[in-house]
A and B are shown apart, each in its own frame.
Chain A
């Protein structure tokens, strides 16, 4: 699979698809609304984002991903965009 260009829209899709609830797709809401309600859910969320990025040949350390109840979809997306390699 060819490595696609990592755009904000692609990152947001990856971030939302990795949450327990997956929808609705609104950049301004926090991840609590999408089911990332505690640190345990955030661990799973980060691992799923990392795995999704690996599938398209990008790498990211889980510690570089912002996730948690108060983190917005937009903030998480930006952290992925800023740290993926």
Chain B
């Protein structure tokens, strides 16, 4: 199915770029030839030439061809609407009746040369490019900080997920996981380590209603590997997606707001953090209100924009605020006699997290990215001061539905 979709997408873009004829098979079995050569439209639609059309279908590449009689051919032209030649065929010989279960071949002997258009039978395939982290099934952002007096510090922001649509229901169900590694590390570091600060893994259920995107996570875990901390926190989030606040032919500014709830329980808590004993005995049930926003400014490419890579540049800012109803850990630092020492609290103050991204897309799969991070993420809410990293982003996408 995806292979068919990719071929359709490629043929659509190719046909628009080069204005070559493109065959579309409608669910009613009518064939539409888009971008017809204007000089030959009259020849194609001439009733006297109806018998010169041949239309054949194949259920698969190995099954025999079935020839379908052509009933009528009409031309349609409009200044603003679609321009096409419609070929009406008798599909009564098709079993099953759905014309999209077949591969189609249409031929017509034009005076300028033979016209042959095909739609392949359904098939399957794999990767396609993704537009951004939220759209990606596989995402990886890495950075490397090296300097005098500090060991190298790695920063990794990774995401993996597969959330296909359940048939054509508009409901997407799948699994995903995300990890942020060493995001809070600051030089000088006395040794290099790669420890996940915040890992989430969940079962995701997504749908859209009107201008709202609804994301629910009936099972969701939050983990911090290096401090043996984990929570089970199902959540539900609603994002309001209005039309862009500002738009010109190549520029747009959007603002999407999010609200939701996270509720669950702590699964295990550390006895010590950074070699300091901690008492988290009052840390058990979890209830958080979540508010947030996504603001972005997009600049379209002047030329060469593609579906997977439309922007010359984009600047985005994501904010998430968590309003705690119960006490939860908060790990920050304080200066004692000129030295930074960890300060570990258990309180219900609001937690903030900000991600700012400036992305320059080099290709469909690779982008150069500068990232700003501030705030704290669950489960341990380890504070990250204003941190700027630079790196390379890799993006890829898996099939959209199963």
Contact = CB atoms under 8 A, between A and B. Distances in A.
Contacts of B252: 32, 37-38
Nearest to B239: A40
B243 A20 contact: yes
Contacts of B256: 40
A6 B213 contact: no
Contacts of B254: 37-38, 40-41
Interface string B297-339: 0101000011100110000000000000000000000000000
Given A35-B244, A44-B211, A64 B27 contact: no
A69 B310 contact: yes
Given A74-B82, A82-B24, A85-B100, A35 B298 contact: no
Interface stretch (B129-137, B140-148, B348-356): B129-137
Contact of A63 (B28, B81, B399): B399
Interface stretch (B5-13, B61-69, B225-233): B5-13
Interface stretch (B40-48, B165-173, B374-382): B165-173
Interface in B29-67: 30, 32, 34
A66 B168 contact: no
A85 B102 CA distance: 13
Interface string A27-50: 100001101011111011001101
Contacts of B249: 32-33
Top-4 shortest CB links A-B: A63-B400, A20-B243, A47-B208, A37-B252
Given A5-B30, A69-B310, A70-B300, 12 more contacts: A21-B247, A40-B294, A41-B244, A50-B168, A62-B165, A63-B5, A71-B307, A75-B13, A79-B8, A82-B8, A83-B5, A85-B27
Interface of A: 5-9, 12, 20-21, 24-27, 32-33, 35, 37-41, 43-44, 47-48, 50-51, 58-64, 66, 68-72, 74-75, 77-79, 81-85
